[in-house]
Chains A and B, each alone.
Chain A
Amino acid sequence: MFTLHELRRSASLATKVFIQRDYSDGTICQFQTKFPPELDSRIERQLFEETVKTLNGFYAEAEKIGGSSYLEGCLACATAYFIFLCMETHYEKVLKKISRYIQEQNEKIFAPRGLLLTDPVERGMRVVSFWAVLCEGTGLTTSGVPGEAARKWGLP
Chain B
Amino acid sequence: MPAESGKRFKPSKYVPVSAAAIFLVGATTLFFAFTCPGLSLYVSPAVPIYNAIVFLFVLANFSMATFMDPGIFPRAEEDEDKEDDFRAPLYKTVEIKGIQVRMKWCATCRFYRPPRCSHCSVCDNCVEEFDHHCPWVNNCIGRRNYRYFFLFLLSLTAHIMGVFGFGLLYVLYHIEELSGVRTAVTMAVMCVAGLFFIPVAGLTGFHVVLVARGRTTNEQVTGKFRGGVNPFTNGCCNNVSRVLCSSPAPRYLGRPKKEKTIVIRPPFLRPEVSDGQITVKVMDNGIQGELRRTKSKGSLEITESQSADAEPPPPPKPDLSRYTGLRTHLGLATNEDSSLLGKDSPPTPTMYKYRPGYSSSSTSAAMPHSSSAKLSRGDSLKEPTSIAESSRHPSYRSEPSLEPDSFRSPTFGKSFHFDPLSSGSRSSSLKSAQGTGFELGQLQSIRSEGTTSTSYKSLANQTRNGSLSYDSLLTPSDSPDFESVQAGPEPDPPLGYTSPFLSARLAQQREAERHPRLVSTGPAHREPSPVRYDNLSRHIVASLQEREKLLRQSPPLPGREEEPGLGDSGIQSTPGSGHAPRTSSSSDDSKRSPLGKTPLGRPAAPRFGKPDGLRGRGLGSPEPGPTAPYLGRSMSYSSQKAPSGVSETEEVALQPLLTPKDEVQLKMAYSKSNGQPKSIGSASPGPGQPPLSSPTRGGVKKVSGVGGTTYEISV
Q: When chains A and B are docked, how far (Å) is the Cα of A69 from the Cα of B241?
A: 10
Give the complex CA separation of A114 and B114 in angstroms.
Answer: 30
Residues 55-68 of A, flagged 1 when their CB comes within 8 A of B and 0 if not, give 00000001111000
Other A-B contacts than A73-B247, A99-B258, 5 sampled, CB-CB below 8 A, are: A36-B339, A38-B443, A133-B268, A140-B263, A142-B264
Q: Which A residues are CB-close (under 8 A) to B79? A: 8, 11, 16, 129
CB distance from B150 to the nearest CB of A (A): 12
Residues from chain B with Cβ under 8 Å of A92 in the complex: 250
Is the contact region of chain A dominated by helix, strand, or loop, or is it mixed? Answer: mixed
Could you tell me the dominant secondary structure of chain B's interface residues?
A: loop
Please tell me if the beta carbons of A123 and B265 are within 8 angstroms of each other in the complex.
no
Q: Is B671 an interface residue (CB 8 A)?
A: no
Q: Could you mark each residue 446-485 of chain B with 1 if its beta carbon is under 8 Å from any beta carbon of chain A, else 0?
A: 1111111000011011001100000000000000000000
- Select one of A26, A39, A124 contacting B128, CB under 8 A: A124
Chain A proximity mask over B227-255: 1 for CB below 8 Å, otherwise 0:
00001101000100110111111101111
CB distance from B84 to the nearest CB of A (A): 16
Asked whether, in the complex, the Cβ of A123 is within 8 Å of the Cβ of B255, the reply is no
- Taking the closest CB of chain B, its distance from the CB of A7, in whole angstroms, is 9
Indicate the member of B244, B247, B460 with the most A CB atoms within 10 Å. B247
Most buried by A among B6, B256, B265: B265
A residues in contact with B336, CB < 8 Å: 37
Q: How far is the CB of B444 from chain A (nearest CB, A)?
A: 9
A/B interface sample: 12 pairs, CB < 8 A? A15-B441, A26-B231, A27-B115, A41-B447, A65-B245, A70-B241, A77-B57, A126-B73, A134-B457, A144-B261, A147-B257, A148-B257
A53 at interface, CB cutoff 8 A: no
Q: Distance in Å from the Cβ of B656 to the closest Cβ of chain A?
A: 34
| A73-B244, A95-B250 known; A121-B282 Cβ under 8 A | no
> In the complex the two chains form, is B445's CB within 8 Å of A91's CB?
no
* Residue numbers in A under 8 Å from B77 (CB-CB): 8, 123, 149, 152
The interface-forming segment of B340-348, B396-404, B690-698 is: B340-348
Within 8 A of B (CB), among A116-156: 116, 121-127, 129, 132-156
* Chain A CB within 8 A of B442 CB: yes
Nearest residue, chain A, Cβ from B5:
A156
Sort chain A's interface into a size bin. 35 or more
Q: Which of A36, A112, A142 has the most CB of B within 10 A?
A: A36
In the complex, how many angstroms separate the beta carbon of B40 from the nearest chain A beta carbon?
23
Contact pick for A23, options B73, B96, B279, CB 8 Å: B96
**Cα separation A73 to B267 with both chains bound (whole Å):** 50
By the criterion CB–CB under 8 Å, are B339 and A123 in contact? no
User: Is B270 among interface residues, defined by CB-CB distance under 8 A?
Assistant: yes
Q: Are A136 and B256 in contact (CB under 8 A)?
A: no
A65 touches B246 (CB 8 A): yes
Asked if B128 and A81 sit within 8 Å, CB to CB, the answer is no
